[in-house]
Chains A and B, each alone.
Chain A
Amino acid sequence: MVASPPVSKSNPVAKSLVSGILSAVGCVALAFLVQYISGQFLSSYANGLVFQAATFVTLAVSLNIVNGITGQFSIGHYAFFQIGAYTTGALSLLFWKKFQGAANVPMQEDIWIVLMMFFGIITSAFAGWIVGLPSLRLRGDYLAIVTLGFGEIIRISAENFTFMGGATGTKIAPEKTVVWLAWLLAFAAIGLSRNLLKSVHGLAFLSVREDEIAATAMGVNITRTKVAAFVIGSAFAGAAGVLYAHQQTFISPDLFKMDGSFIVLTMVIFGGTGSITGSALAGASLFYLPEALRELPPVPFASLVGIVLGLIATIGALKRYSDQSHAKTSVKAATMIGIIVVGIVFMAILGKLLSFVPSISAHAPIQGSQLRLVVFAVTLIVLMLFRPQGVFAHHEFSWKWLRSVLARVLPKQKEGLSS
């Protein structure tokens, strides 16, 4: 009515085909390059970390489709991850030996795992569809509880699944850390999310997040959109689960405890809900936190309590100061550093004092690995206080964005210097 369709000069179909093929080839090449470098030059432990980074990028980016882009607060993402792992677990137990005997081809294990990814995607996408259905009626907290419950149901069912070893778990064959597939999957999750956001369909997903009533009044089928988000998100989680199972070589329900879902959720919120690159970068970096904590020496319980209490006080003081002070940036920064120093001293003193309390000093020291949830919780609290929109907010990381941020920050500093 208002506009007649434009006559585009270049053929978009041909152009997209070329760019699509080029980027696909590029991603495959890059994925193999990562595998080559990581396999050749890194220890097998570090190679495992390279693999896990990709896994968590996939998990965070795919949860971002549900939570960030469509605005459905799901906190059971690990359930789909587990479904993928258990799908390949069961199928591999039954058929891997036969396949190995029958098809003697190069990269036999990789081919099997690709095949398993296909099945993992089907089962987890189906589960995503099932979970997506109640989300049509439930909002916010209620949906969160349903997804949480679903995660627990899956985990507890697995505990009773004797074929897969029940609560003890089972060994998985073939054992293989397929770095290239893990990264290719991560690239695919990023690419598909980005493609979605570039289309009118993507706007429909976003509109559900922004205002369901307006979205439905504009003709968006809310039901279909939410379910689609769940299906896409869980399909990726399932595929990642397949790879993860073969990398772990032994899967048990313990691997998929609820805190995993929280960690992935933290990544999405940390990166900035809705930001694909934010989720990806948060996934690739935060996954290492639990690993790093494992290296930590045991902390006496008194010191830990001192640190936590001191941290709360310091964060509170920082928040209060940054909200109320109108001082110059340089003064503000200096004061905040001062607050942090005082906070650390306070933690040390508090820890020392508490060690004189008999019931506290009698407590066994806390292992670093027990701290992972504490650390993620503190990260989330700090984020909610100082940057509730996440590090990248809804922005995507790009050089243009970086320039615009720098442009905003740099003149401010100049002002600070000249005055």
Chain B
Amino acid sequence: MSQLVLDKATIKFGGLTAVNQVCFELEQGMIFGLIGPNGAGKTTCFNLITGLYKPTSGSITFDGHDLSQYPTYQIAALGISRTFQNIRLFGSLTVLENVMLGTYLRKESSLASALLHGGRSIGDTSRKREFATNLLNVLGLGDLLHVRSRDLPYGKQRRVEIARAMATNPKLLLLDEPAAGMNPQEKVALMEDVKRLRNEFGKTILVIEHDMKFVMNLCEQIVVLDHGEEIARGLPAEVKANPKVIAAYLGE
């Protein structure tokens, strides 16, 4: 069964239909690409899936749950996590604190225990710190633990955002232009890491990205949007050869 199902998902902002009758399904453990020209509605799809926007019509189902019934923070608890196109790290917190926040969903101690510095809270927090540290090491950020996230270069910030999203232990990871602002070496490293997140941790991954080389090499299936509508879907090679896609997006 598909993990995520968009069924005629539609959202209108006044007169503008940003996402129009979009249908696609993601299978567990695959890497999907979502591409299209600027303003095609890709980020809006992420906002719909994570519940920041509610669809005007149509439905989005995740693991059998109708997501329109859940507020964003509960959708995160169901197992969907994301990064943001315009990075949204907690700027004045350190890298480690940003990633530790990702574990908040799996907290094992109450607010009262935290306020009283109870043993539960201490143990919980130290386990989460350990977890976040390990995760950052895995993602090659181990030497930046105590740097304020605002002070990091762009490429590193994108990585920290991925680490923070991973810390929620999601089933589905949504990456919005993860390679934007990265240099070619960073992009190669990122691609390897995204593959590892799938191979080693079994995450389903949906990536928005404008860098075609990156998308074509990484993704196993690609959905193309234009003006809020799905214009193509399929294997990278098929999508690349699709005349509609070439006309709307790839050119030449």
Interface of A toward B, CB cutoff 8 Å: 1-3, 5-6, 8, 11-17, 19-20, 191-192, 195-196, 198-204, 206-207, 210-211, 213-222, 228, 232, 394
Contact = CB atoms under 8 A, between A and B. Distances in A.
A198 B117 contact: yes
A169 to B, nearest CB: 34
Contacts of A218: 76, 81, 101-102, 104-105, 164-165, 168
Contact of A220 (B73, B81, B84, B115): B73
Interface stretch (B24-32, B129-137, B224-232): B129-137
Interface residues of B, number: 53
Given A217-B50, A217-B81, A2 B134 contact: yes
Contact of B119 (A13, A211, A216): A13
B73 A222 contact: yes
Interface centre among A8, A14, A201 (most CB of B within 10 A): A201
A4 to B, nearest CB: 9
A232 B111 CA distance: 11
Given A16-B119, A17-B119, A220-B104, A199 B125 contact: yes
Main secondary structure of the interface of A (DSSP, over half): helix
Interface centre among B93, B122, B134, B168 (most CB of A within 10 A): B122
9 nearest A-B pairs in the assembled complex, by CB-CB distance? A13-B119, A210-B90, A199-B114, A219-B76, A3-B134, A219-B105, A214-B88, A201-B114, A195-B117
B57 interface: no
Nearest to B135: A2
Contacts of A192: 115-116
Interface of B: 50, 52, 71-73, 76-77, 81-82, 84, 88-93, 97, 100-105, 107, 109, 111, 114-128, 130-131, 133-135, 138, 164-166, 168-169, 201
A211 B130 CA distance: 24
Given A12-B126, A210-B92, A219-B76, A201 B107 contact: yes
Interface centre among A200, A204, A221 (most CB of B within 10 A): A200
A201 B125 CA distance: 9
A350 B233 CA distance: 77
A220 B130 contact: no
A321 B164 CA distance: 43
Contacts of A13: 118-120, 122-123
B105 A201 contact: no
Main secondary structure of the interface of B (DSSP, over half): helix
Contacts of B92: 210, 394
Interface centre among B72, B81, B131 (most CB of A within 10 A): B72
Contacts of B107: 200-201
Contact of A16 (B77, B117, B127): B117
A207 B73 contact: no
A161 B138 CA distance: 64
A8 B117 contact: no
Nearest to A389: B92
A224 to B, nearest CB: 9
Contacts of B91: 210-211
A219 B82 CA distance: 11
B8 to A, nearest CB: 24
A125 to B, nearest CB: 13
Given A13-B120, A201-B115, 14 more contacts: A1-B201, A3-B134, A5-B131, A8-B126, A15-B122, A16-B117, A20-B116, A195-B114, A200-B101, A202-B114, A210-B92, A216-B72, A218-B102, A222-B73
Contact of B109 (A11, A199, A222): A199
B90 A206 contact: yes
A219 B73 contact: yes
B168 A200 contact: no
Nearest to B123: A12
A6 B97 CA distance: 19
Contacts of A394: 92
A203 B101 contact: yes
A14 B50 CA distance: 41
A3 B115 contact: no
Nearest to B150: A210
Given A3-B135, A196-B114, A218-B102, A12 B119 contact: yes
Contact of A195 (B50, B84, B93, B116): B116
30 contacts: A2-B131, A2-B166, A12-B126, A16-B122, A20-B116, A196-B115, A198-B117, A200-B114, A201-B107, A201-B121, A203-B93, A203-B97, A203-B100, A204-B101, A206-B101, A207-B104, A211-B88, A211-B90, A213-B84, A213-B88, A214-B90, A215-B90, A216-B52, A217-B72, A217-B82, A218-B76, A219-B76, A220-B73, A228-B111, A232-B115
B2 to A, nearest CB: 22
A237 B89 CA distance: 32
B100 to A, nearest CB: 6
A202 B116 CA distance: 12
Contact of A221 (B73, B81, B122, B138): B73
Contact of A200 (B81, B128, B133): B128
Contacts of B166: 2
Contacts of A216: 52, 71-73, 76
B116 A207 contact: no
Contacts of A211: 88-91
